[in-house]
Amino acid sequence: MKFKHPISRRTLLRGAGAAMALPLLERMLPAAARAAEAASSARRLAVFYVPNGIHMPKFLPTGTGTEWELTPTLQSLAPVKQDVLVISGLANDPGKPDGDGHHAAGTAAFLTCTKAFKTEGANFHAGISMDQVIANYLARASPTRLASLELGNDAGRGIGNCDSGYACPYANNISWAGPRSPMAKETRPRAVFDRLFSSGGAISQAEAARRRAYGQSILDFVREDAQVLQRQLGVTDQRKLEEYFTGVRDLEKQVEGLDTAGPACGTAPPPGEDEDPRARTKAMMDLIVLAFQCDLTRVATFMLANARSNKVYGFLGLSGGHHAYSHHQQVQANFDALARIDRWEVEQYAYLVRRLKETLEGSGTPLLDNAMVYFSSEVEDGNAHIHKNLPILLSGRCGGAVATGRHLRLPGVPLANLYVSMFRAMGIPGVNSFGTDSTGELPGFGG
Amino acid sequence: MTSRIPHRGTRGWFAAAGCILLLCACKGDSPPEARVRPEVPEPPAEACQATSGDPGTVTLHRLNRAEYDATVRDLLGDTSHPARDFPTDDHGYGFDNIADVLSLSPLLMEKYAAAAEKLVEEAWVRPGATPRVCELDPTAPEPCAREILSRFARRAWRRPVTEEEVDRLLRFLPLAKQHGDPPEAGVKLALRSVLLSPHFLFRVEKDPDPSSTEPHRLTAFELASRLSYFLWSSMPDEALLQAAEQGQLGTHQELEAQVRRMLADPKAQALVANFAGQWLFTRALDSAEPDRTLYGAFNEPLRQAMRRETELVFQEFITGDHKLRDLLDAPFTYVNDPLAAHYGLPPPGTGDAFQRVDLTAHPERRGVLGHGSLLTVTSNPDRTSPVQRGVWVLEQLLCSAPPPPPPNVENLPPAVSPDMTMKERMALHRTLPQCQGCHLLMDPLGLAMENYDPIGRWRTKEVSGAPVDATGDLPDGTVLAGAEQMRRFVKDDPKLPACLTEHLLTYALGRGLSEDEQCAVREIAATAEASGGRLGDYILAIVLNDFFTSRRGGKEAQTP
């Protein structure tokens, strides 16, 4: 392996996946200082979605405030208990469908707190998602290479209907740039890695100028094509073309931001093409940590599986599908199966939280200290499809804005209020409402 | 058999079965919901005659992953499936080529840009690759560059290009020169632009007046693209483009000749992979996970073999002389030795290679309902699911699917005794008032298939050792004794042709069909059946219909 700059963040981060030790970081300074300082104390958000709800009796702590104990499902959070805020009681009423379709409607409302328009396809309509509000703000304040990173494990089966008359974009996406713009997610760790780190090594000033000029010219050309076309299209088609313009603008930012230094970090070994869901999930968590660590993005969302997933957790010794178990009908064997799945899900979340705690920013503080890592599902209970009392974990203090190490009980409070508080924590001024039912900030969020 | 499953929305025996307004007992925040099938009155025949033939609107259609791959294959000779790295397309109405849900995210745009650069670089150096139709003279590159770019853009954009468009593309030459690069660098930038243009990434169809609801015929080039993406999931070839240029797509005869020609082309395989794969659920085999302890016989080679069987059978229907409805009881199939052994058929002795076999002596394997692929994907990992199998038949073959189950009762009720047979367990559905209305319809169809285990093996005993009772009792007293009778019952259902049409038309247009378009669907079905009822007849009936050959603009439909 050749190092162009022996002391660089790239060197530092070689072998990503291993936790980084502070003394090593200090030795690498000052070459890393510029990037590190810019990134240090930057606020970050990760969202971890699980489908089909959670078996709450084994999830919810009994005590509240600072007097609470980890339940069986939450055991894996023991090393980071003081960094976790458990919130119970919140309701996401906009997730209720018209008739059936609780999983798709609940998932569409998961980060948007907006009721999805019931359709199999035509005129689908949800709302902008909380992560995109944050990504937009952060990208304006201090751009990173990617404004946000959308990840998931499920590519989708691509057959039949997604959920009782609700179109598949509702079930397959939690991140929405706008009411009609779901943010497609990457489902292959290798593709994520390539996207983050394959933009080549260091280049000369002249080469960078050339690439910028060429890239810009191509974008100018195709934008002109689209503008001419737009004048000849009806409203629905114009809306589709709007997505194209957004894509061009995003590409433009990347072209403009083309750096002579190459990627700030990034010759970690790429993840394999392993199909095992355990390996894939872990790889995705590592990639989120790496993307944060290299300050390539500050917002990441992850869908452990798509809405209404009927994945078989064979490696947990279970033979039935997740969705089938979630229709537990009060049968103990189903509760047991769900608890096992929930526990595994929380373990994956805990892994992400722990990695963010172990990984230090340039300033020497754990990434987790300036971040929020949010965990929840589209429903509470998969059997009755309840959209109240959602299972919520929020880890990380976000620079002190979140008072962690507690269990906050807020029965009936809109979920959207949590997002309003999260906007505040991220430093976004002036956003006092969100979705369709927020009433203000979450009481007790900051302690 | 006199009684039939009612047509979409007719009351007939549904009302008799007591499925009027059954309330479910719910806890939580869900209000009690009615368990009825949507009441959509079937249009009377005379009303259908009066329909205007409004072709509806088709939203600007982004190429999906399959279409992108097939298009770059035909355009640049690149068979590396670059779209594999693109995010998965969402699907709607059962297909992933539905324009409304084919969004273009910034992530995808980034992938398009990367793919365009790579595709052009590789095509440029590939011997005999299409873009380089002449040698660029370093001192006077423009004539050749013009030739390269106008030819390429015409094919990539699937229509003639204007002088002005080519002039704009040529501006990349001076740009390259300005940065000290040779002319070929400029041409390559222009080629990348062609591949990143909305004219390539979208299937553009224009309306003279975008706000008018007055139907108009598609241009010859728009029609050529509709045709090629329907049959090939790809761009028009030279013959089709030339036919469009020469105004030859205006008559039924010409269109029919093109359809016949295109179906005979190997590229019509796209119908197998992209239409049948979704209609018959073959694609779901990828994610099927039968329980390993109970069904360890299911392995990767078998998964592949099951998929291949259904593909090969459907492939025969593309050009063969079979009626489309014969898919239900085709007296032949394709197996290799392992699949034959799995089915209990005599092995053809061809090892892993597939062999067409006659099923005269094995009626249980006739038609797609005897395919391991379908039988597996409509089962639960650990047991058969008469409900899923029944719903598949109702939804994919008869377009009469009941509404989904209410909350709290979505799965089998707990068995009273673990020794209960599947038939006895299914009978529990009828003890729950909120379930029986719909299950009276689904369960009998699935129960008649109980001789197939969750991985499609023939069986006479359930896992518990109890004998399989493969009889389904329809609400009117008709008994379907086994899969053969059930197949015949479905095949004779008068709703079958319209339902086949509905799925095929949805795929052909890339849009969902509304209830008030059922008349047109039935008209196309009747035409197709009258001309022979083969897949080709259905396709032709669609292609010749106003739905396919014309479009209209219109104001956006209402959303909240």
The reply to whether residue B88 touches residue A158, judged by beta carbons under 8 angstroms, is yes
Residue to test with chain B: of A188, A190, A236, A380, most B Cβ within 10 A: A236
Instruction: Give the least confident one: A218-222, B275-279, B435-439, B555-559.
Output: B555-559
Query: Closest residue of A to B57, CA-based?
Result: A236
B275-295 mean pLDDT:
94
The reply to whether residue A244 touches residue B104, judged by beta carbons under 8 angstroms, is yes
Per-residue pLDDT at B39: 42
Q: pLDDT per residue over A414-429, tens digit each?
A: 999 999 999 999 999 9
How far apart CA B307 and CA B372 sit, in angstroms, is: 8
The H or E element spanning position B190 is helix B183-196
Buried b (16+ CB within 10 A) or exposed e, A381-391: bbbbbbbbbbb
Q: Give chain A positions within 8 Å (CB) of B560.
A: 115, 117, 125
User: Judged by CB atoms within 8 Å, which residues 348-387 of B form the interface with A?
Assistant: 377, 380-382
Q: A299-303 and A44-50 as β-strands: parallel, antiparallel, unpaired?
A: parallel
How far apart CA A377 and CA A307 sit, in angstroms, is: 9
Q: What rounded mean pLDDT belongs to chain A?
A: 89
Which of A157, A314, A388 comes nearest B292 by C-beta? A314
Is B239 in the A-facing interface, judged by CB distances under 8 Å?
no
Per-residue pLDDT at A158: 80
How far apart CA B292 and CA A37 sit, in angstroms, is: 52
Per-residue pLDDT at B22: 29
Is B252 in the A-facing interface, judged by CB distances under 8 Å?
no
Q: What is the pTM of this model?
A: 0.91
The reply to whether residue B198 touches residue A314, judged by beta carbons under 8 angstroms, is no
Which of B90, B168, B395 comes nearest A169 by C-beta? B90
> If pLDDT is split at 50, 70 and 90, which confidence band does A269 have?
confident
Instruction: Let me know: does B263 contact B536? Beta carbons within 8 Å.
Output: yes
B512-528 mean pLDDT:
94
Q: pLDDT per residue over A81-136, tens digit each?
A: 999 999 999 999 999 999 889 999 999 999 999 999 999 999 999 999 999 999 99
pLDDT above 50: residue A16: no
Is A34 in the B-facing interface, judged by CB distances under 8 Å?
no
Instruction: Give the least confident one: A36-50, B27-41, B112-126, B396-410.
Output: B27-41
How far apart CA B528 and CA B536 sit, in angstroms, is: 9
The reply to whether residue B283 touches residue A213, judged by beta carbons under 8 angstroms, is no
Instruction: Give the least confident one: A38-42, B81-85, B184-188.
Output: A38-42
Closest CA relative to residue A158, chosen from B462, B385, B181, B507: B507
pLDDT above 60: residue A12: no
Per-residue pLDDT at A286: 96
HSE (side-chain half, CA atoms, 13 Å) at A402 = 36
pLDDT above 60: residue B410: no
The reply to whether residue A247 touches residue B104, judged by beta carbons under 8 angstroms, is yes
Q: pLDDT per residue over B430-471, tens digit each?
A: 777 777 777 888 899 999 999 999 999 999 999 889 999 999
Q: pLDDT per residue over B269-284, tens digit each?
A: 999 999 999 999 999 9
Is B429 in the A-facing interface, judged by CB distances under 8 Å?
no
Q: Give chain A positions within 8 Å (CB) of B506.
A: none
Q: Cβ contacts of residue B305 below 8 Å, gap of 6+?
A: B335, B336, B338, B339, B342, B354, B372
Which of A123, A217, A311 comes nearest B189 by C-beta? A217
Integer-rounded Cα radius of gyration of chain A: 22
Instruction: Give the least confident one: B394-398, B415-419, B494-498.
Output: B415-419
Give the other-Cβ count within 10 Å of A276's Cβ. Answer: 10
> If pLDDT is split at 50, 70 and 90, which confidence band does B554 have?
confident
Burial (Cβ within 10 Å: 0-12, 13-18, ≥19) of residue B247? exposed
The reply to whether residue B106 touches residue A250, judged by beta carbons under 8 angstroms, is yes
Is B101 in the A-facing interface, judged by CB distances under 8 Å?
yes
pLDDT above 90: residue A7: no
B75-91 mean pLDDT:
94
B317-345 mean pLDDT:
97
How far apart CA A361 and CA A357 sit, in angstroms, is: 10
Q: How far is CA A386 from CA A55, A93, A103, A409, B513, in A?
A: 12, 9, 10, 17, 32
> If pLDDT is split at 50, 70 and 90, which confidence band does A388 have?
very high
User: Judged by CB atoms within 8 Å, which residues 284-303 of B form the interface with A?
Assistant: 284, 286-287, 289, 291-294
> If pLDDT is split at 50, 70 and 90, which confidence band does A404 have?
very high
ipTM for the whole complex: 0.90
Phi and psi dihedrals of B226, rounded to 5? -55, -45
pLDDT above 50: residue B27: no
Is B411 in the A-facing interface, judged by CB distances under 8 Å?
yes
Per-residue pLDDT at A257: 82
